[in-house]
Protein backbone atom coordinates (compact mmCIF):
# COMPACT_ATOMS: atom_id res chain seq x y z
CA UNK A 1 0.00 0.00 0.00
CA UNK A 2 1.47 3.35 -1.00
CA UNK A 3 1.66 6.24 1.43
CA UNK A 4 -0.25 9.44 0.80
CA UNK A 5 1.83 12.29 -0.52
CA UNK A 6 1.25 15.86 0.54
CA UNK A 7 1.97 17.02 -3.01
CA UNK A 8 -0.78 14.82 -4.43
CA UNK A 9 -3.29 16.09 -1.89
CA UNK A 10 -2.23 19.71 -2.48
CA UNK A 11 -2.52 19.22 -6.24
CA UNK A 12 -6.03 17.80 -5.90
CA UNK A 13 -6.96 20.69 -3.62
CA UNK A 14 -5.55 23.31 -6.01
CA UNK A 15 -7.25 21.75 -9.05
CA UNK A 16 -10.58 21.64 -7.21
CA UNK A 17 -10.17 25.29 -6.13
CA UNK A 18 -9.56 26.36 -9.71
CA UNK A 19 -12.39 24.34 -11.19
CA UNK A 20 -14.85 25.40 -8.53
CA UNK A 21 -13.96 29.08 -8.80
CA UNK A 22 -14.22 28.99 -12.59
CA UNK A 23 -17.41 26.93 -12.48
CA UNK A 24 -19.08 29.36 -10.05
CA UNK A 25 -18.17 32.29 -12.29
CA UNK A 26 -19.43 30.52 -15.38
CA UNK A 27 -22.64 29.48 -13.62
CA UNK A 28 -23.35 33.07 -12.59
CA UNK A 29 -22.45 34.45 -16.03
CA UNK A 30 -25.42 32.52 -17.42
CA UNK A 31 -27.69 34.43 -15.03
CA UNK A 32 -28.11 31.61 -12.53
CA UNK A 33 -27.95 31.99 -8.78
CA UNK A 34 -25.03 30.07 -7.25
CA UNK A 35 -26.06 27.24 -4.92
CA UNK A 36 -25.81 27.65 -1.18
CA UNK A 37 -23.10 26.07 0.94
CA UNK A 38 -24.82 23.75 3.44
CA UNK A 39 -24.24 24.55 7.08
CA UNK A 40 -23.66 20.87 7.78
CA UNK A 41 -20.75 20.53 5.33
CA UNK A 42 -18.09 21.49 7.89
CA UNK A 43 -19.91 19.48 10.55
CA UNK A 44 -19.77 16.24 8.54
CA UNK A 45 -16.14 16.79 7.60
CA UNK A 46 -15.36 17.46 11.25
CA UNK A 47 -17.09 14.24 12.28
CA UNK A 48 -15.00 12.29 9.78
CA UNK A 49 -11.85 13.94 11.14
CA UNK A 50 -12.88 13.07 14.69
CA UNK A 51 -13.53 9.44 13.73
CA UNK A 52 -10.13 9.16 12.05
CA UNK A 53 -8.38 10.78 15.00
CA UNK A 54 -10.16 8.53 17.50
CA UNK A 55 -9.20 5.46 15.47
CA UNK A 56 -5.58 6.59 15.27
CA UNK A 57 -5.36 7.29 19.00
CA UNK A 58 -6.97 3.96 19.85
CA UNK A 59 -4.65 2.03 17.57
CA UNK A 60 -1.63 3.91 18.87
CA UNK A 61 -2.49 3.07 22.47
CA UNK A 62 -3.12 -0.59 21.66
CA UNK A 63 0.09 -0.87 19.65
CA UNK A 64 2.10 0.76 22.43
CA UNK A 65 0.63 -1.66 24.98
CA UNK A 66 1.38 -4.55 22.66
CA UNK A 67 4.99 -3.40 22.12
CA UNK A 68 5.55 -3.00 25.85
CA UNK A 69 4.02 -6.45 26.42
CA UNK A 70 1.59 -5.19 29.03
CA UNK A 71 -0.58 -7.90 30.56
CA UNK A 72 -4.08 -7.91 29.11
CA UNK A 73 -3.07 -5.90 26.02
CA UNK A 74 -5.40 -6.62 23.12
CA UNK A 75 -3.53 -7.42 19.91
CA UNK A 76 -4.22 -5.37 16.82
CA UNK A 77 -5.62 -7.30 13.89
CA UNK A 78 -3.57 -6.53 10.79
CA UNK A 79 -6.58 -6.57 8.50
CA UNK A 80 -8.46 -4.13 10.71
CA UNK A 81 -5.47 -1.78 10.77
CA UNK A 82 -5.13 -2.02 7.00
CA UNK A 83 -8.82 -1.22 6.56
CA UNK A 84 -8.43 1.79 8.85
CA UNK A 85 -5.52 3.06 6.76
CA UNK A 86 -7.45 2.57 3.52
CA UNK A 87 -10.43 4.44 5.01
CA UNK A 88 -8.08 7.23 6.06
CA UNK A 89 -6.47 7.45 2.64
CA UNK A 90 -9.80 7.51 0.86
CA UNK A 91 -11.12 10.13 3.26
CA UNK A 92 -8.04 12.30 2.74
CA UNK A 93 -8.29 12.14 -1.06
CA UNK A 94 -12.00 12.90 -1.12
CA UNK A 95 -11.77 15.64 1.49
CA UNK A 96 -8.93 17.33 -0.42
CA UNK A 97 -11.23 17.54 -3.44
CA UNK A 98 -14.28 18.59 -1.40
CA UNK A 99 -12.33 21.19 0.57
CA UNK A 100 -10.91 22.53 -2.69
CA UNK A 101 -14.40 22.77 -4.14
CA UNK A 102 -15.67 24.69 -1.14
CA UNK A 103 -12.50 26.79 -1.14
CA UNK A 104 -12.95 27.81 -4.77
CA UNK A 105 -16.60 28.63 -4.24
CA UNK A 106 -15.77 30.59 -1.08
CA UNK A 107 -13.07 32.46 -3.01
CA UNK A 108 -15.61 33.34 -5.69
CA UNK A 109 -18.03 34.59 -3.04
CA UNK A 110 -15.34 36.70 -1.34
CA UNK A 111 -14.21 38.23 -4.63
CA UNK A 112 -17.61 38.81 -6.23
CA UNK A 113 -20.50 38.71 -3.77
CA UNK A 114 -19.26 39.72 -0.33
CA UNK A 115 -21.61 42.72 -0.26
CA UNK A 116 -24.67 40.43 0.00
CA UNK A 117 -25.18 39.40 3.68
CA UNK A 118 -26.41 35.90 2.81
CA UNK A 119 -23.39 35.27 0.60
CA UNK A 120 -21.07 36.48 3.38
CA UNK A 121 -22.46 33.71 5.58
CA UNK A 122 -21.99 31.24 2.73
CA UNK A 123 -18.34 32.30 2.40
CA UNK A 124 -17.86 31.67 6.13
CA UNK A 125 -19.43 28.19 5.85
CA UNK A 126 -17.17 27.45 2.87
CA UNK A 127 -14.11 28.56 4.86
CA UNK A 128 -15.11 26.33 7.77
CA UNK A 129 -15.55 23.42 5.37
CA UNK A 130 -12.02 24.00 4.06
CA UNK A 131 -10.65 23.98 7.61
CA UNK A 132 -12.56 20.79 8.40
CA UNK A 133 -11.23 19.21 5.19
CA UNK A 134 -7.69 20.06 6.26
CA UNK A 135 -8.44 18.43 9.63
CA UNK A 136 -9.55 15.24 7.82
CA UNK A 137 -6.30 15.17 5.84
CA UNK A 138 -4.21 15.73 8.99
CA UNK A 139 -6.05 12.98 10.88
CA UNK A 140 -5.67 10.59 7.95
CA UNK A 141 -1.93 11.25 7.72
CA UNK A 142 -1.62 10.69 11.47
CA UNK A 143 -3.53 7.40 11.21
CA UNK A 144 -1.27 6.30 8.37
CA UNK A 145 1.81 7.16 10.44
CA UNK A 146 0.50 5.20 13.43
CA UNK A 147 -0.07 2.08 11.32
CA UNK A 148 3.19 2.26 9.35
CA UNK A 149 5.37 -0.84 9.36
CA UNK A 150 9.04 -0.38 10.23
CA UNK A 151 11.50 -0.36 7.34
CA UNK A 152 12.22 -3.79 5.92
CA UNK A 153 9.02 -5.37 7.28
CA UNK A 154 6.70 -5.12 4.29
CA UNK A 155 5.72 -8.80 4.55
CA UNK A 156 5.01 -8.66 8.25
CA UNK A 157 7.81 -11.10 9.08
CA UNK A 158 9.93 -8.70 11.11
CA UNK A 159 11.08 -9.00 14.67
CA UNK A 160 7.62 -8.35 16.15
CA UNK A 161 8.47 -4.93 17.55
CA UNK A 162 6.91 -2.80 14.81
CA UNK A 163 3.51 -1.17 14.97
CA UNK A 164 1.90 -4.09 13.18
CA UNK A 165 4.30 -6.76 14.41
CA UNK A 166 2.92 -9.55 16.55
CA UNK A 167 4.49 -10.15 19.96
CA UNK A 168 3.92 -13.90 19.57
Give the DSSP letter string of 46-66: HHHHHHHHHHHHHHHHHHHHH
Are the C-beta atoms of 139 and 54 separated by less than 8 Å?
no
- Model pTM greater than 0.75? yes
Q: What is the DSSP string of 98-109?
A: HHHHHHHHHHHH
Task: Tell me how many degrees the CA angle 121-125-129 measures, rounded to the nearest 5.
Answer: 170
Q: What is the pLDDT of residues 120-165, one digit of tens each?
A: 889 999 999 999 999 999 999 999 999 986 655 555 554 555 555 5
pLDDT tens digits along 35-82:
888 999 999 999 999 999 999 999 999 888 888 888 888 888 889 989
- pLDDT exceeds cutoff 50 at 84: yes
**Half-sphere exposure for 16 (CA within 13 Å, toward CB):** 20
Task: Give the chain's count of helices (H) and strands (E).
Answer: 4, 0
Amino acid sequence: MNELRIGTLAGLFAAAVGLSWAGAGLWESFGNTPPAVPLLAPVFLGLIAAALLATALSLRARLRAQRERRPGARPVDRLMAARAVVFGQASALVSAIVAGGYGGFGLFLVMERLDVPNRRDQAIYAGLAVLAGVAVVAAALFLERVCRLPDGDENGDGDGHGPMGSPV
